[in-house]
A and B are shown apart, each in its own frame.
Chain A
Amino acid sequence: MSIRNKAAIVGIGETPTDRLGSKPGEPRKSSAEYISWAMRLALEDAGLSLKDFQGQGLGVTIPTAYPQPFWPEEVAEILGITPGFLLGGATGGAGAVSLLGGMAAAITSGLIDIALVCGSAAPFSEHWGGGIQPGDMRDWEIPYGTMGPNSKIAMVMRRYMHEYGATLDHFGKIAVAGRYHASLNPLAYLRKPITVQDYKESRLVADPVRLLDCVMPANGGRAYILASPERAKTLRKKPIYLKGFGERSNPSYGPRAGSDALVMGVKDAGKVAMEMADVKHGDINFLQLYDDYIIVVYLQIEDLGFCAKGDVSFYERTDFTFKGHLPIQTGGGMINVGQPSTAGGTLHIIEAVRQLRGEGGERQVPNAKTGLVSGLGVLPYGKNLGCCAVAVLGSEA
């Protein structure tokens, strides 16, 4: 049994992102306010009300900024829903894509007919203090001076440049394409176009990672609604089908105590998703790739099989804009829209749905019928990202 075409996205909700609360006296909103705002937008988009979700599915991404293990239940309480199936997104930034698979499986099985998936975070307006770090970070990284994900991804990026000869021009091209799309997206936070030179001259954060390599934290909320195809056909918007799904957590390439940090788990998760969807690379009209860093976007393109590993010339000859050969990050990605903690990854699903509905506005990919979305989370010791989920979405069942 497959979950191919057994569930469709029927509603999306994206609040604007902001950084309110970073200065004293600024008006501010809470995580609860952002999540209910995003939910309201998704309900309006689908033409549904809260009553439609009683006894149905509720999925909630678990933010790092609010270390409360019962947050999904708290969200049900805040929204006033009595779910019949409650799932927390336990794969960090991959949570929103992981929940597509989990909720589609529950819909396929008949357990539920419809599901609301939502998330929010307000890292600038709420301060809950740090939680307990994962053991590998606590004992083998932080005491040695590793300052979180920036320094870990810096080591991946440096090794990649050493191994394959990629330069800042290759990475800069990806940054420029994303920002160009953001300039056409009214919901993006960073909208002023940049050049490769701007990227190269941005300040070093953790050599070789620069400011314009990094995602920008922000306050905000995100939501989507998934329904059975029968239910989807009765609703307001064109259903966008989940055609394929694949997930790999704790991927390892080579010996587990020395996994190849340059290979990402989307290699296998993507293969599973594309086989389920029965699509080839040439069938995919755009990619919305989880983007905590530019190098991570870069690596996913090759690990998903759009070019050979280490073929830097592919990045030189490919136009990644919405009019180009392989459109990526058509709304600017999280790097330019902003990342409300683990809810950030939901953005890529929302942008894919817009494109597949033909609601892409000035940045609409021509004739977009099939798109690929990824979610990533967690950076374990000595490895690349630890949670990788890939979904193939399409406008036709």
Chain B
Amino acid sequence: MAEVDVRKPLPAITTEAKPFWDGAAQNKLVMQLCKDCGAWVWTPRPLCNECGSERIEWTPMSGKGEIYSFTP
């Protein structure tokens, strides 16, 4: 019986998300943090959605969190 090659679709490494994937390649979880208002920004984008600032920096995360919801 022939095996079917099923591959998960891969994300496009967009320019705004590249630092996330570069971090992941080094085993680091990073997320954008606004230097002006302190808001976290997710998913990766060019500006802070709370205050509009472009002073957003890739910041290491602890890797700890709580599960909000799930579906198997």
Contact = CB atoms under 8 A, between A and B. Distances in A.
Contact of A143 (B10, B69, B72): B10
How extensive is the interface on chain B, given as a class? 10 to 19
The 6 closest A-B CB pairs, nearest first, are: A154-B71, A139-B11, A155-B69, A159-B69, A256-B49, A257-B42
B47 to A, nearest CB: 11
A145 interface: yes
B17 A139 contact: yes
Given A139-B43, A257-B41, A151 B71 contact: yes
A137 to B, nearest CB: 10
24 contacts: A135-B14, A135-B43, A138-B9, A139-B11, A139-B43, A143-B9, A145-B8, A155-B68, A155-B69, A155-B71, A156-B69, A158-B71, A162-B69, A206-B71, A207-B71, A209-B71, A255-B40, A256-B49, A257-B39, A257-B41, A258-B40, A258-B42, A261-B68, A381-B43
Given A154-B71, A156-B69, A257 B14 contact: no
Q: Is the interface of A mostly helix, strand, loop or mixed?
A: helix
Nearest to A252: B49
B71 A143 contact: no
Given A154-B71, A207-B71, A255-B50, A142 B40 contact: no
A10 B40 CA distance: 49
B49 to A, nearest CB: 4
Contacts of B69: 155-156, 158-159, 162, 261
B61 to A, nearest CB: 12
A306 interface: no
Given A135-B43, A381-B43, 7 more contacts: A135-B12, A135-B14, A158-B70, A158-B71, A256-B49, A257-B40, A258-B42
A158 B67 CA distance: 12
A103 B17 CA distance: 39
Interface string A149-173: 0010011101100100000000000
Contacts, number: 54
A135 B50 CA distance: 20
B70 A142 contact: no
A140 B43 contact: yes
A143 B8 contact: yes
Interface residues of A, number: 25
Which of B9, B49, B71, B72: most chain A CB closer than 10 A?
Answer: B71
Nearest to B68: A159
Contacts of B50: 255-256
A44 interface: no
Interface string A235-259: 0000000000000000000011110
A74 interface: no
Interface in B7-46: 8-12, 14, 17, 39-43
Given A256-B50, A257-B39, A139 B14 contact: yes
Interface in A293-346: none
B11 A140 contact: yes
A230 interface: no
Contacts of B40: 255, 257-258
B39 A142 contact: no
Given A255-B40, A256-B49, A257-B39, A138 B11 contact: yes
A136 interface: yes
A23 B50 CA distance: 50
A135 B16 CA distance: 11
A138 B40 CA distance: 21
B22 to A, nearest CB: 15
B70 A155 contact: yes
